[in-house]
Amino acid sequence: MSSYPSSVKLVEVGPRDGLQSIVNIISTEEKVNYINLLSDAGMQEIEVTSFVSPKWIPQLADATDVSILINQIPDTCYTALVPNLHGLKNAVDSKYKSVAVFTTVSETFSQKNTNCSIQESFKRLNFMQPIWEESNLRVRGYISTVWHCPYEGIIQYDSILDSISKYLDLGITEISLGDTIGKATPDEVRWLLDKILAKWPPNIFALHFHDTFGSAEENIQAGLEFEISIFDGSTGGIGGCPYAEGSSGNIATEAINSLCNSLGIETGIQPEKLNIAANFIQNLVNKESRNYAKD
Ligand code: HMG
Ligand code: MG
């Protein structure tokens, strides 16, 4: 068994994944305050927002304003999620140096979430590639429904390997494996990582666990056993994907941070300040979340 990494990067996705399904509209000013608190807590990377269609995700329709108004700290990487060329151009106009793209290994989820097939989602990425190269952007790539899909059940791992290869061919440098509906078990995580890490090194992967069934923390521990050193979390555990029925919030960033502290793993985060950010956003969000999958 390998030893745990000595330090990890936690990627805060609360302002995007956390807020995207929240029913009550959080004001631009409140989002900016929240993101500034996260920067102040020492997060290495913050996913600020997404430049997606406001018809699909009304909560993040103020992506441009939020991006302009936040205080950016030099040591923090600020990332925007983009679904297509339109979103990528908006992110470039908003001066992002880092973007995240997404695909999935489930055809049904692809249609529900982005109105296109998996193949079409890669065609969109092919159109985007010249722009992100020309703009010198760092690109992170999500693969959703890696373990379980709410519509198609358990996923065949060949399709996951295929998506990873395609991402790497596109020059994507960090790949976040998403347990979109929070159903993966630690054994399933170990099984898949064993297959994936037989082909690629652990330092290009992040793990993105939603915590629907309460196994996210154990899943992260399984990831640490495989020397994975990047984990996504959402302060306060808020959120979920509105197009994945049954998806609850991400694992709370403060829970990952506590786990790492207890294992002697460095995160560079100030826990008291992280708790301030978590309390701030938890007090604002209405626990009821939006689920467009049923529409
Ligand atoms: P579409 O309706 O097929 O788009 O949606 P379209 O290309 O046909 O365009 C329709 C209209 O949308 C046009 O405007 C476009 O200009 C506009 P109109 O002519 O009608 O006025 N449009 C846009 N507007 C703003 N920004 C854009 C954009 N693109 C087109 N980027 C589309 C296709 C991909 C846009 C839509 O399906 C979409 O926005 N989907 C995003 C859904 C989403 O954000 N889901 C959650 C994020 S993924 C996730 O949560 C999983 C993750 O956390 C990992 C995990 O947990 O597994 C990452
Ligand atoms: Mg997610």
Instruction: Note the pLDDT tens digit of each residue in 24-61.
Output: 889 999 999 999 999 999 999 999 999 999 999 999 99
245, amino acid identity: E
Residue 295 has pLDDT above 60, yes or no: no
Q: What is the mean pLDDT of residues 103-113?
A: 96
Residue 233 pLDDT grade (very low, low, confident, very high; cuts 50, 70, 90): very high
* Mean pLDDT, rounded, for 222-239: 97
- Average pLDDT of the residues in 219-227: 98
Nearest CA to 14 out of 208, 188, 234 is that of 234
**From the CA of 120, which ligand is nearest?**
1
The set of protein residues with a Cβ atom below 6 angstroms from ligand 1 is 17, 20, 50-53, 56-57, 83-84, 86-87, 102, 113-115, 142, 144, 178, 180, 208, 210, 241, 243
2 or 193, greater pLDDT? 193
pLDDT at residue 247, rounded to an integer: 78
Higher pLDDT, 294 or 157: 157
Q: Which residues of 248-261 are buried (b: 16+ CB within 10 A; e: fewer)?
A: bbbbbbbbbbebbe
Cβ proximity of 39 and 70 under 8 Å: yes
Q: Is the pLDDT of residue 289 over 60?
A: no
Cα separation of the two ends of the chain: 46
Instruction: Pick the closest to residue 176 from 16, 20, 287 (CA basis).
Output: 16
155: pLDDT confidence band, cut at 50, 70 and 90? confident
Calculate what percentage of the chain has a pLDDT beyond 90.
Answer: 88
pLDDT value, residue 243? 87
Active site residue 149: no
Ordered domains of the chain (ranges, CATH)? 9-294 (3.20.20.70)
**Of 138, 139, 222, 124, residue with least CA distance to 179:** 222
CA distance 246 to 213: 10
Q: How many CA atoms lie within 13 A of 210 on its CB side?
A: 27
- Taking the CA of residue 240 as reference, the ligand 1 atom at the shortest distance is 50
Ligand 1 atom with least separation from CA of 113: 42
- What is the largest distance, in Å, between two alpha-carbon atoms of the chain? 48
Per-residue pLDDT band at 288 (split at 50, 70, 90): low
20 burial via Cβ count (<10 Å: 0-12, 13-18, 19+): buried
- Give per-residue pLDDT as tens, 255-287: 999 999 999 999 999 999 999 999 999 999 865
d(CA 190, CA 263): 19
Phi/psi for 109 (5° steps) reads: -65, -35
Ligand nearest to the CA of 206: 1
